Structure 1
Amino acid sequence: MTSYGNRLREQIAAPGTTPLIGVYDMYSASVAADHYDGMFVSGFGFAASYYGLPDIGFIAWPDMVAFVERLRGAFPNQHLLVDIDDGYVDPEVACHVVERLERIGASGIILEDQKRPRRCGHADGKQVLPLDEYLAKLEMVLATRRDMVVVARTDATEEEDILLRAKSLAATDADVVLVDGVRSVEWIQRIREVLGDKPLLFNQIAGGKSPRLSLGELTDLGVDVAIYSTPCLFAAHQAMDSALSELKRADGRLPTFDAADGVGVAASTRLLERNIARHHDAPERVGV
């Protein structure tokens, strides 16, 4: 049987740009699974949904591992790329988390070079570890994983440092490189050039620093993977705000329900029942 890591690795190597959709809880993952074959377990989304806090380093690794375990149980055939931030500071902890995630069936992880206090990759004020310190942590993680995909991420913001770090990460055994917060198509091209044959990941987030690009445009730029960190989270925020504002205006009376256009108890139950079916009726369990 092919491992989850190797399945994702094969998908990344295939022609085109592989999209991975950011999910923040089991319900958003249930909706995403109806549209895409791969999920990105977003640190931004998880911090927001599980803690109600911004993505600045509050996530505890046992909470993230437990979430990924629930995801894998419900979605046995989805790619699951997991954001583990800086590996929760300590290299030994990072390796332990990688072992746990691989054992429960995560397809891959992203390990960043930020130092604390960390920031969202598209926020101002990011600081990075000394390159040799990050590379040592990365090498420990690479030595720990078996088949899991490892994405090496840099949050460097100075132009010279971005290219230096991208080239250094490309020289490791990491499967993919992510430079977060890329500000232009020109910089995607420059990063692509220094990476050589190493696969490139691009992160898109609404309101972020990077340009909005289609999968076709990203493919033309040589991008192998695209993660969409927050489309589910931000759409839910907007929809909930609109629905509750309308409920308040209507003095608490629910709007007229149209089963053809709206989501009610029946549609929601059908969505969740598919998670049971996937769990019990998966054609073949993937070895890890």
Structure 2
Amino acid sequence: MHYGNALRAEISRPHTTPLVGIYDMYSASIAARHFDGFFVSGFGFAASHYGLPDIGFIAWPDMVAFAERLRLAFPRHHLLVDIDDGYGDPEVACHVVQRLERAGASGVILEDQLRPRRCGHADGKRVLPLEEYLAKLNLVLDSRADLVVVARTDATEPDDILRRARALAKTDADVVLVDGVRSVEWIRRIRDAVGDKPLLFNQIAGGKSPSLALTDLARLGVDVAIYSTPCLFAAHAAIDTALTELLRADGRLPRTDAADAIGVREATELLERNISRHHEVAGRAR
């Protein structure tokens, strides 16, 4: 299946395409009931897979393995993967992109940060010289087949943001992302800078960017919206609450006969869908 072309066609439609951030197979299983596209965020993956902050700990084989598991369970969902700076030099980045494309990823985001890197909404980010990043980006673009490539800049100085956005828009990248955009006015300025190139906007709770509805983003000319951490942060709050209540109840589990309660039956039914989706697609292929 041409996953990249399917995502590219979705992005070209006259609305803002939402991709929801998931961090493990269970969160993806729940998200699949609500959204047609996933975003594998570095923040969520570093937190769930390593229990570490998003500052460059991710190893590319772990990310490829996660993408493979996602694609098997969700054969029709769009799957955009954050690959930070490509995990090293340009040749490593190209290898990772090819492995992810073979694993069934729809697209990747490649940033221009220097290591040690940081979350796109953190302070203290530093970026590669533009020409060095463009050289890596162009090699990655040449190494893909139909994979969507999002060119991302983490520049923070106003003149540099616009300079880099214009430069990225001139490449063969499919989409441009300026991370950590601080205002609606800056979304407009970036939209003007990239011309006709599709634009992606990243929203993260507690981040530097404003919280905007999809209809607002569509009016601003944003083509894709990624939500990096809604599942992770919701799980954080829900788990903390559930365990606090368990202690208060002297270790007695809550009843599961309420309409919104989750027990063994509900969880098993959710996970069984991951098997049936795969068999449905395999059956059509035959």
Paired letter, 2:18? P
What are structure 1's unaligned runs of at least 5 residues? none
1:150 match: secondary structure: strand
Structure-to-structure mapping, 1:247-258, within 5 angstroms: 247-258=246-257
TM-score between the two structures when normalised by the length of structure 2 = 0.98
Structure-to-structure mapping, 1:93-112, within 5 angstroms: 93-112=92-111
Deviation (angstroms), 1:284: 4.5
1:227 match: secondary structure: strand
Structure-to-structure mapping, 1:193-212, within 5 angstroms: 193-212=192-211
Distance in 2 (CA, whole Å) between partners of 1:173 and 1:284 is 34
1:191 aligns with 2:190: yes
1:222 aligns with 2:221: yes
CA RMSD, aligned part only? 0.9
Deviation (angstroms), 1:104: 1.4
Match of 2:157 in 1: 158
Match of 1:272 in 2: 271
Task: Count residues in correspondence.
Answer: 284
Deviation (angstroms), 1:255: 1.8
Paired letter, 1:187? W
Match of 1:84 in 2: 83
Structure-to-structure mapping, 1:121-136, within 5 angstroms: 121-136=120-135
Deviation (angstroms), 1:260: 1.5
TM-score between the two structures when normalised by the length of structure 1 = 0.97
Q: Using CA pairs under 8 Å that are at least 6 residues apart, name the structure with larger relative contact order, 1 or 2.
A: 1
1:262 match: secondary structure: coil
Could you list the runs of 4 or more consecutive aligned residues of structure 1 that deviate by over 3 angstroms after TM superposition?
Answer: none
Identity fraction in percent: 76
Paired letter, 2:38? M
1:99 match: secondary structure: helix
Match of 1:170 in 2: 169
Deviation (angstroms), 1:256: 2.3
Question: Compared with structure 1, are the counterparts of its residues 284 and 107 closer, same or farther at alpha carbon in structure 2 (3 Å cutoff)?
Answer: farther
Deviation (angstroms), 1:90: 1.0
Match of 1:30 in 2: 29
Cα offsets for 1:30-67 (capped at 9, x unmatched): 00000000000111000000000000000000000000
Deviation (angstroms), 1:249: 1.1
1:134 match: secondary structure: helix
Cα offsets for 1:151-180 (capped at 9, x unmatched): 000000000000000000000000000000
